[in-house]
Amino acid sequence: MKIQGSRSVSPVNRSPGLWRGILLTCLLWSTFQTALFSADAISSAVTVLQTVKTGGADSRAAQRAVVALVGAGERAMMPILEGFQKASPLGVNWLRNSFEQIADKIVASGKPLPAAALEKFIKDTNQSAAARRLAYETLRAQNKELEARLIPEMLMDPGAEFRRDAVARLIEEAAKTEGATSTELYKKALTGAVYEDQVKQLAEALRKSGETVDISRHFGFVSKWMIAGPFDNKDEKGFAVAYTPEKEFEGQGPSLSAEYDGMNGKVQWKPLETTDDYGVVDIAGQIENFKGSAMYATATWTSPSEQSLQIRLGTPNAWKIWVNGKLMFEREEYHRSSQMDQYVVPVTLNAGNNTICLKICQNEQTQEWAQKYQYQLRVCDMTGAGVLPAPMVAQENQKSGGVQ
C-alpha cells in the first residue's frame, strides 16, 4: 500500500550543498585533531607530566595531559620516553602510565609497535635508564628474539637492570662449560656485576676455581677509617649535640692529632680498618659496644677529577654524613634492619682529596637484636658499580706544592 504524500529520500538524492557541508565539517575536525596532537601540544603535555606535583590542580592537569598523549597515539611514544630524562620521580610514573596506555592500544588494535624507533632508543645510553628499560620490556613482549640480540652487548650498560640480564646470561653460559672457559666467562661476568646476589654467586664460583676475588674492592667499599669516641648519647640526646669533632667536620675538617673530652675520658683519633668482604666496620666487635654513645669516623677519598657519584651506606644505627664539610643527610632511627646500599646519597666529589665524615649513634637498648653497632660505606656510580679512589695525595705534598 502506498501512502499518499510520502516519498523516500536516498543518499544519492541529497543536495550537493549538503554533501559539501559534511565534507567541510570532516575537514575542519581533521584539522582540529592535527592541531590538538601537534608536536608542540605533545611537548607541552610531556612538560606538564615532568613537573607534576601531588594533589589538587596538578593532578587534574596531569590527567588531562595523559588523555592528550594517549589520544596522540604512536606520535607521542618517543617524546614520552625522552621526557623521562628531566622528570621528577612522580613525573616518571605519569609518563610511564601514558606510554603503557598507548602501547596497549596499539597492540590491541593489531598494529605493530614502532620497533625501529624503540630499538634505537634502547641503544641510546644517553637516555634515561628507566625509559630505555620500559621501551625494552614493551618491545620484548612482542619480539622474543630481542633479548638474545641486545642483552649480550649490555654488560657495562649504564642501566643496572640491563647489566643484570647480561651477567645472568654469562653465568648461565659458564655453568654449561668447564675449566678455563668457564672461569673466563665468570670473570667476564664479574666485570659488569652490580647486584649483591650475582657478585656473591660469581665470587663463590671463581674462588672454587682457585681465583682470588676482592669483593670489597669490586663494590668500592671504604675500608680504612680514622675513628674517635665514644661521646655521650645517653637517653639518645647526643644525636643533636655537635661535639668538637662534628664542629670540625663543618669547618676545615677534623684535626686527626687532636684530643677530645669523651664519654669515658679523653679520646683521640685512631685508625680502624675492616677486612670484611662487604666493608662492615664493626664498632661493637672491633672496639666496644659502648651503650648510649656516639662515634665519629672520617676517611679521605681521592678523585682524579670532579665527578658526580653516589655514597651508599648501610647501618642499623642513627647516623649523619658530611662530605667536604657539608652535611649531606642524617637519620635518627635505631635498630631497623640493616642491609647493603640501605641509603643512597648523591654527591659531587672534587678533584683531589675529599673528606667523608660520619657520626654513628648507639642507644641503650639491651635486647639481643639491638646490639649491632656498625656501618658500611661505599662509593659507586649510578648503576651501583664500585668506583675506586685515585692514589691519595699526602697532605705534605699538597702543602708544599708536590706533583700528584
CA distance 168 to 151: 10
304 within domain boundaries? yes
SS3 content of the chain, % helix, strand, coil (to 5): 45, 20, 35
Question: The pTM is what?
Answer: 0.83
pLDDT reported for residue 395: 43
CA distance 330 to 320: 4
pLDDT reported for residue 199: 98
CB 84 within 8 A of CB 122: no
CA distance 190 to 211: 12
Pair 236, 375 in one domain: yes
Distances from the Cα of 115 to the Cαs of 78, 100, 157, 161, 260, in angstroms? 11, 15, 21, 21, 65
- Considering only CA atoms, which of 212, 171, 176, 165 is closest in space to residue 188? 171
CA distance 45 to 227: 52
Contact residues for 237 (Cβ-Cβ < 8 A; gap 6+)? none
Pair 29, 116 in one domain: yes
For 248-259, the DSSP string reads: HHTTT---TT-E
Per-residue cell: 113: 609497535
Pair 136, 186 in one domain: no
Pair 146, 278 in one domain: no
Long-range Cβ pairs for the range 4-13 (8 Å, 24+): none
Query: Which of 132, 152, 172 is a domain's end point?
Result: 152
Pair 204, 330 in one domain: no
List per-block mean pLDDT (blocks of 10 residues) for the chain, which spans 404 residues.
Answer: 42 51 46 60 95 82 94 96 96 97 97 97 98 98 95 97 98 96 98 98 97 97 98 97 95 91 97 97 96 97 97 98 97 92 97 97 94 97 96 47 33
Pair 191, 326 in one domain: no
Distances from the Cα of 167 to the Cαs of 121, 195, 270, 342, in angstroms? 22, 10, 40, 23
Q: How far is CA 90 from the centre of its chain?
A: 15
pLDDT reported for residue 18: 53
CA distance 198 to 31: 55
11 within domain boundaries? no
CA distance 354 to 365: 35
CB 139 within 8 A of CB 113: yes
Distances from the Cα of 287 to the Cαs of 267, 283, 313, 374, in angstroms? 13, 5, 20, 10
CATH number reported for the structural domain that contains residue 238 in this entry: 2.60.120.260
Query: Which of 152, 175, 192 is a domain's end point?
Result: 152
Pair 207, 244 in one domain: no
- Considering only CA atoms, which of 155, 159, 217 is closest in space to residue 186? 155
- Considering only CA atoms, which of 108, 36, 106 is closest in space to residue 77? 106
Pair 140, 223 in one domain: no
- For residue 293, what are the β-bridge partners? 232, 362
Pair 129, 25 in one domain: yes
13 within domain boundaries? no
Pair 128, 32 in one domain: yes
Pair 100, 148 in one domain: yes
Specify the residue for cell string 640480564: 165
188 within domain boundaries? yes
CB 95 within 8 A of CB 52: no
Q: What is the 3-state secondary structure (H, E, C) of 203-230?
A: HHHHHHCCCCCCHHHHHCECCEEEEEEE
Q: Give the SS3 label for residue 22.
A: helix
Residue 322 half-sphere exposure toward CB, CA atoms < 13 A: 24
Per-residue cell: 197: 646476589
pLDDT reported for residue 119: 98
Residue 253 zone, left/alpha/beta (φ > 0; ψ -120 to 50; rest)? left
Contact residues for 355 (Cβ-Cβ < 8 A; gap 6+)? 249, 253, 254, 298, 299, 300, 301, 322, 323, 324, 325
User: The domain containing residue 144 runs over which residues?
Assistant: 19-152
Per-residue cell: 118: 624503540
Query: Which of 135, 152, 169 is a domain's end point?
Result: 152
pLDDT reported for residue 8: 42
10 within domain boundaries? no
Residue 82 half-sphere exposure toward CB, CA atoms < 13 A: 13
The number of domains in the chain is 3
68 within domain boundaries? yes
Apex CA 253: angle with CA 249 and CA 256, to 5°? 105
6 within domain boundaries? no
7 within domain boundaries? no
Pair 223, 208 in one domain: no
